[in-house]
Amino acid sequence: MGFGNLAKMAQQMQSDMARVEEELRALELEGTAGGGAVTAVVTGRQELVSVTIDPGVVDPDDVEMLQDLVTAAVNDGLRRARETAEGKMARVTGGLGCNGMG
């Protein structure tokens, strides 16, 4: 494999990674907790967009439970975003361990 082919492949990979980064920026994923009582929406770039709370789970005497549900929903959304990003990047890099997310 010549240098020209290698450079062309690297340039294509860089272009594909930029495209995936843009897809991830636009992608929204939901994380839930408490059987859907709390929903967190995050982007594929692991940024929190919104949190929705079912009013039925709001108990002023148990704020800690609500905090735990919000934390769990956000973490679920972030996990989904991370897994999605890793999968998309692995397809571009062929599993080279380059994730371009740093």
In this predicted structure, what is the pLDDT of residue 97? Answer: 53
pTM: 0.74
- Per-residue pLDDT tens over the stretch 48-66: 999 999 999 999 999 999 9
In this predicted structure, what is the pLDDT of residue 96? Answer: 61
In this predicted structure, what is the pLDDT of residue 65? Answer: 94
- Residue numbers in the chain where pLDDT is lower than 50: 99-102
DSSP of 8-71: HHHHHHHHHHHHHHHHHHH-EEEEEETTTTEEEEEETTS-EEEEEE-GGG--TT-HHHHHHHHH
- The domain made up of 3-93 is a member of CATH 3.30.1310.10: yes
**Closest to 80 (Cα-Cα) out of 68, 72, 70:** 72
**Domain locations in the chain?**
3-93
